[in-house]
Amino acid sequence: MGAITLRNVAKTYGHGARAVAVIHGVSAEIADGEFIVIVGPSGCGKSTLLRMVAGLEEISGGEIAIGGRVVNDIEPAERDIAMVFQNYALYPHMSVYDNMAYGLKIARLPRAEIEARVQKAAGILELGALLERKPRQLSGGQRQRVAMGRAIVRQPQVFLFDEPLSNLDAKLRAGTRLEIQKLHAELGVTSLFVTHDQVEAMTLGQRLIVMNAGRIEQIGTPEQIYLRPASTFVAGFIGSPPMNLLPGRAQGLQFDAGGTALALPAPAPPAAALTLGVRPEHAQLDPAGPWPLRVEMIEMLGAERLLHGRLGSAPFTLRVDATLAAPRVGEQVPVRVPAEHLHWFDAGTGQRA
């Protein structure tokens, strides 16, 4: 069983006055067979957390359990995990077959068992025709598949992926994401996948762990995190373009944002200072709309347009269908947002109000 439990896990570099804490009491439960994506900006601690699960970084505090066994003091090789790194780390002088089989040979498995495991992994990843090639004869996507095959043949309890798609171009990234999804559907092995790319996170993860500055901001399904972000950080990080965030004050059915009074379709929560959040696709051009948006720039993205403008002094972005007639730059257009698409956050804490 490959369930993973993180209990108040902490990481500190250095000692005494020079100590720097980078992971601050992270706790999470990952079910057996679940695919979890840890997502966040560079420097948020996501790779450090993954490396602590792998045993490549010492834990400064808390407890990590894999399959019900606490692994704090257990060597990486004994944790029954397999890791796929950002750089493929293939042996250049070995064939694809030998790269995939190398760990099994070191473990002294019988030759027939090695052959069966490598051939099965090659079949899953469509590498059968490449087994005799050297890494230099492969594309970046093929090398990453070999790295995944090397992990698969181990038959571990847990797969750990540390930004494995970062070195691929956009087309290869999309194709490899699909392969990883199919791989998980076939093998059902517990997987932790680290990325800073929200598209990867939203398309791959059954649940996401959103991290910020060494802390967990929110855990949930992609839908939960997108539709009900727990904080302004999550709201601004997940989504492209990100959620519009308008700081201001509410009074009755009016919200003062950037010096402009916006009429609200429903009362705001009771708080002295609030931040109003609106997803770009949830704001609508409407002749009777009560919000006056001054258009400053228009981006044509094929099937849709992004209208960038201002509500008073506050920046605001609208996503509209490209088949609709576009306003002119400098024009003021009326905008409406349905009550169910207004998000409210406490301006002081950034948490959902």
pLDDT tens string 70-92: 999 999 989 999 998 888 788 99
Strand partners, 298: 307
Q: State yes or no: pLDDT of 218 exceeds 90.
A: yes
Q: State yes or no: pLDDT of 30 exceeds 90.
A: yes
Strands of the chain, DSSP E: 4-13, 20-30, 35-39, 61-66, 69-70, 81-84, 158-162, 190-195, 207-212, 215-220, 244-251, 254-257, 260-263, 274-278, 284-285, 291-300, 304-311, 314-321, 332-336, 343-346
**Cβ–Cβ < 8 Å for 278, 315:** no
Give the pLDDT band of residue 27 (cuts 50, 70, 90): very high
- pLDDT at residue 148 in the model: 87
The bridge status of strand 274-278 relative to strand 284-285 is: unpaired
Q: Give the Cα separation of 346 and 353 in Å (integer).
A: 5
Sheet with 343-346, side-by-side order of all strands: 260-263, 254-257, 244-251, 274-278, 343-346
Mean pLDDT of all residues belonging to the chain: 92
- Token pair, residue 321, equals 């269908």
Mean pLDDT along residues 209-238? 97
Each residue of 109-136: pLDDT tens digit? 999 999 999 998 898 888 999 999 999 9
> Could you say which of 3.30.1330.30, 3.30.70.360, 3.50.30.10, 2.40.50.140 is the CATH number of the domain covering 244-346?
2.40.50.140
Q: Which residues contact 21 (CB under 8 A, 6 or more apart)?
A: 10, 11, 12, 60, 214
- Token pair, residue 29, equals 């439960």
- Token pair, residue 113, equals 């068992």
- Token pair, residue 6, equals 């993180």
Q: State yes or no: pLDDT of 37 exceeds 90.
A: yes
Closest listed residue to residue 295, CA positions, set 279, 280, 277, 316: 316
Give the pLDDT band of residue 299 (cuts 50, 70, 90): very high
User: What's the pTM value of the predicted model, to 2 decimals?
Assistant: 0.90
Q: Give the Cα separation of 95 and 90 in Å (integer).
A: 9
- pLDDT at residue 69 in the model: 94
Domain ranges of the chain: 4-233, 244-346
Fold for the domain defined by 4-233: Rossmann fold (3.40.50)
